[in-house]
Every structure is written in structure tokens, then in C-alpha cells.
Homo-oligomer: A and B are copies of this chain.
């Protein structure tokens, strides 16, 4: 058995045991599809969101953010098509009442691909293949559409006019605010509007731990371009030589394997239609790799014709190879001007932009909407960080230092020497101003190292008897167990450099 490879169920156990994730309201038996993030989980999740925002909003001058509300005017969802079309196919058992998603039932039982399968086809397959209840084996009822939006009522009386929805995606809140944001932030095409926030989907059968939840968080950019300038991507040079696993609709149709090629090749061979689309796909892929994920576990996969959403001209998913198969991390659609036009139509508001060149009013196109589930990113980083070190006979969680929930552990060598503990605490008090730190004095130093490694603490600093004499401490690397000795006065600087990627061995005197 490869102890470094966890199933999704084992990952859930690990996350609970170490304080990353709990089932919501576990003391009351939990509630399917809802999870709470524990003391380490909240930090990892916040770090993911922070670094994403820094990369895609703060460091870019063509993207600004917003933070819209979860309960949104129902007309937003009428206009967007969600009220009528945001459905899954529900089948229930005539006998035990268990409910299933039609496509998932087919996928699980027949092991065939169901991307984009509609009601009629699902109904046909269920009947032809005589599929039965996955729980009790009885007959299934007629499949029907089920809307995935949660609804509630605003105000003291429940009437149809007080009915509202919890947003099932963050995108529409961006479209509804499009004009105000564009004007106030004085944005000129091309530009993006980003949002991080919760979304809710009343999934028929939530599954695979954090992968398919009913309450989740999205990190999303809607990127708008001039309708006549969809090919002018001024950043494309940055990614032309970037290489990734590509799985086009053609390859899928012709039963070919995915190919590792560059963005340049994708464009030259017209595998990816627009430069902007290629640019954002590469950028999102790169972001994961930069923060420690393994590029080999990713591919970009084009939607086949049947699975394209009602609003999309072309969609590519960024996929990751989970223990339960290749799954979507992000759907990057070319949404065209579908949404803005729908909102113009339903709101009678003018959402156009004045084009100074042609003196015309134009409706921008969403050339791409990189939309990432925070919890899926959370899983990716955990799976790729989780490793088992044979020599240490211990789990080591090799999270990128920027993502690690706790960066530094401060350990007094022994716990029963007051001056040593005091010295360690002084060091701790200094370091925690800079980073999330932990102070641990219980158990042997080896036990403390092991505990730190398991939760991804990037560096541990041990204060020993010598420290009291020479004001120096030992820094130990989580990833290599390498140790160096540095002066306390230099500790902050050294740790900073180490976290910025310098080799620990070069930052102090090696300890043998």
C-alpha cells in the first residue's frame, strides 16, 4: 500500500483528525453537503483566498473586485435563466424513497460518460438498462427536472413576491453590478471583475467530501472584452511556451489520449479558439502549480457539444485527477454577451459601454470566466501536499509556505526550565507578529516535530540550553528535516528568506 495516496474518504478522516474540516453540526448527526472548517482549515482556506486575490486582483491593473450579497433579487435569476433552467435530473425509488441524480446513477452503474446528458436520454437509458434503486434494488420512478436553487422568503409574510433565492453562483452578482463598477472604477476594456464568496446549490446527492457540497465558496473572474477585439490579447506572449495536458473535444470524440503541448501549439492547431481563453486557462493552471500543486495531476478538457451550458460558446474545464477520477476544478466558459444582454432586457437598464473609437455603444463579451471552487482548491493542495515519509515513519504535509496554516512552530527543548521556556516565549511573541505561529512544549521534541510535520508547519524553531548562552536557535525544515543554527536577532530575516524559497542550508550554520 502506498501510504502517500489517500482515498477521498481517508482524506476526510485526516481532515477531521487534524482540525481541518468537520461535518457541520456533527453532534447532531451532521447534514449532508455542509462542512465546517476547523482551526487549521480556516487558515488554509483563508490563505488560498488571499493568494488568489493577490494574484488576480491586487497585482493586476485590469481586474477589480466586488463582494455581493448571497440573497439576491429574484429577477437576477429569472434573467440569467437559472429559475427556468438550473436543474438536475432527479430519480427516486418507488419503494424506499431514496433520491438519485439520474446522470450519476448511470455513471456509477454503467461506467459511461454522462457529460451534458439531458432528461430524455437519461430516461431512455434508465429504462433500457433497467437500472434499479442503488439502495434497496426496487423500481425507480419517472425521472424529472429539479431546480438546484435554495429559496427563502424576505419579510414577515410568505408570498410569491417575497420569495428569493440564495445565489447558486457568484457570476450573476457581477453582471448585475457591471455598470456601476465599470463607471466607478473607471475601467476600460478589456477588464475583469472578480468576486470571492459563498454560493449554494441544493444538490440531490452531495458526495466526495468537499468536492460536491451544497454550500461552497467560489473565486471568480468575469473577463470582459470589446466584441470586435476578441482576438487582441495583449498578455498572450506571457504564456505561449507554457505546457500543459490538453484533452480537446476532438481527442475525446476519437478516443485519443490527452496530449502535453504548449499554449502556442493549442492556438496554432486551433484546439483552443480564442487567445484570451488560452491565456486564462494557462494562468489558472500556473497558479495551482506556483502554489505547490503537481502539474502532472492537471489537464484542460474541452466540453463536448452536448455538455455546453445554455449561455456558453465554448467551455474548457481545468481538471484535476482526484482519487475518484478526473474532475472539474474550474469551468472557463466563453459566455459571450449572453448575460449582459439578458439583464439589459429584463431590467431595462443600459449596461453598454461607450466606445470612444467608434462612438458607438457596445455590449462587452465575457471572453472567459475563470471560476474556481475554494474547497476544490483546498482539496487539490491537500492531496498534492500529503506525503508519507518512510524514514520519519510519519505523514508530512508539504503545503506551500504561503498556504501553510501555521508557518512556524516555536519549541522550548524542555518544558521544566523556566528561563528556557521564557526565552522561547519571547521568540514566539516576536514571530507571531509576522506569521501564524504555534508554541508547543508538550511531549518529546521528536513528537513535536512529528506533530508539526503532519499539519504542515513550514519551519520549527527550537530553543535549547545553548540558546540561553549564545542567543542562537535551531531552525528545522519540514520538508528535508535539515537543521541550521542562527542568531535570534537574525531569525526573522532568515525565516522570511526561507519562506521566499531560499535553501535553508545556505541561511545558517548546518547542524549535523
Which A residues lie at the B interface, using CB under 8 A?
A: 16-19, 22, 24-43, 45-46, 53, 58-59, 61, 64-73, 75-76, 90, 92, 99, 146, 150-157, 164, 166, 173, 176-177, 179-181, 184-186, 193, 195, 198, 200, 202, 204, 214-215, 343, 346-347, 349, 351, 428, 432-433, 435-436, 438-439, 442
Contacts and interface: CB of A to CB of B under 8 A. Distances in A.
Nearest to A438: B61
A64 B195 CA distance: 26
B36 A73 contact: no
Contacts of A41: 66-67
7 contacts: A24-B72, A27-B351, A28-B346, A35-B69, A38-B177, A42-B66, A46-B67
A64 to B, nearest CB: 4
Contact of A68 (B37, B53, B71): B37
Nearest to A58: B436
Contacts of A184: 17-19, 38-40
Overall SS of chain A's interface? mixed
Given A38-B180, A38-B184, A73 B28 contact: yes
A291 B230 CA distance: 45
Contacts of A438: 61
B156 A31 contact: no
Given A28-B75, A155-B202, A177-B36, A67 B42 contact: yes
Nearest to A24: B69
Contacts of A75: 25, 28
Nearest to A166: B152
Contact of A70 (B19, B28, B202, B215): B215
Contacts of A195: 42
Most buried by B among A19, A42, A442: A42
A200 B71 contact: yes
Given A27-B176, A39-B65, A71-B200, 14 more contacts: A24-B71, A24-B176, A25-B73, A33-B154, A34-B69, A35-B69, A39-B64, A41-B67, A42-B65, A46-B67, A70-B215, A152-B166, A154-B214, A156-B202
A221 B335 CA distance: 42
Nearest to A92: B156
A67 B36 contact: yes
Nearest to A78: B28
B173 A36 contact: yes
Contacts of A64: 39
Nearest to A157: B99
Most buried by B among A71, A90, A151: A71
Contacts of A155: 99, 202, 204
Contact of A39 (B22, B185, B214, B433): B185
B432 A58 contact: yes
A66 B157 CA distance: 34
Contacts of A73: 24-25, 28-31
Most buried by B among A43, A65, A198: A65
A163 to B, nearest CB: 11
Nearest to A65: B42
A64 B455 CA distance: 15
Contacts of A33: 154
A151 B438 CA distance: 39
A38 B66 contact: yes
Contacts of A68: 24, 36-37
B156 A27 contact: no
B66 A25 contact: no
Contact of A202 (B65, B154, B343, B346): B154
Contacts of A31: 71-73, 154, 164
Contacts of A349: 27
A156 B145 CA distance: 10
Contacts of A180: 16, 19, 22, 26, 38
A47 to B, nearest CB: 12
A229 to B, nearest CB: 21
Most buried by B among A30, A46, A59, A156: A156
Given A155-B202, A198-B198, A215 B25 contact: no
A188 to B, nearest CB: 10
